[in-house]
Amino acid sequence: MAATCSKLNRLSNELETETKVSIHAVNLSGIELAIKVKLKNPSGGSIQVKHPFVKMIYADKTIASSEVKDVNLTIPKFSEVNLDPIKIKLGFLSLATTVPALVKEYRETGKLNLIVHTVTTINNSFPYKKTDMITLGGGKVA
């Protein structure tokens, strides 16, 4: 049992996620974000992970999250897996009422600074979580 726990702990330390967020579409009701997640396995054994759950946070408030999917993904040894983009919709009205500072920051700077949590489970038993700071938008044109 201790050997299995040690192996899972090592896999959790070696598993790497790369998360990128971009604006996919903008319409009158809001913004649709596309989150691209790359899972990297630099270890000598293949692993299975659950489809990642992604949560976006601004000023300690969750502003959006992805669907929870009970899907296992296999990452072969010494390889990477690019997932299909995860789409999340952010409604302008809900953003303005729940996090008005976010709307104000975007109007003033043309950028959004968000915290993105990527959460999954390795081999159906060991939790994995990574936090990324992401900036959306190119800023205001001078």
pLDDT, one tens digit per residue, over 104-120 is 887 888 888 899 999 99
6-65 pLDDT, tens digit per residue, is 554 555 567 889 999 888 888 888 888 899 999 999 988 889 999 999 999 998 889 889
Q: Is residue 141 part of a domain?
A: no
Those residues whose C-beta lies under 8 Å from the C-beta of residue 97, and which sit 6 or more positions away, are none
Q: Give pLDDT, residue 7.
A: 53
d(CA 88, CA 134): 15
H-only helix segments in 1-142:
2-14, 92-98, 100-109
Q: What is the CATH number of the domain that holds 127?
A: 2.60.40.10
More confident residue, 117 or 125: 117
Quote the tokens at residue 57: 């946070």
pLDDT in tens, 75-106: 999 999 999 999 998 888 888 888 888 878 87
Residue 98 counted as domain residue:
yes
- Which residue range(s) make up the domain with 34? 2-136
What local confidence, expressed as pLDDT, does residue 106 receive?
79
Distance, CA of 6 to CA of 22 (rounded, Å): 37
pTM of the model: 0.81
Asked if residue 38 is part of any domain, the answer here is: yes
Domain count, the chain: 1
* Within-domain flag for 142: no
Q: Is residue 130 assigned to a domain?
A: yes
What is the C-alpha to C-alpha distance for residues 88 and 65, in angstroms, rounded to an integer?
7
CB-CB neighbours of 127 under 10 Å: 11
73 is a domain residue: yes
Taking the C-alpha atoms of residue 92 and residue 114, their distance in angstroms, rounded to an integer, is 16
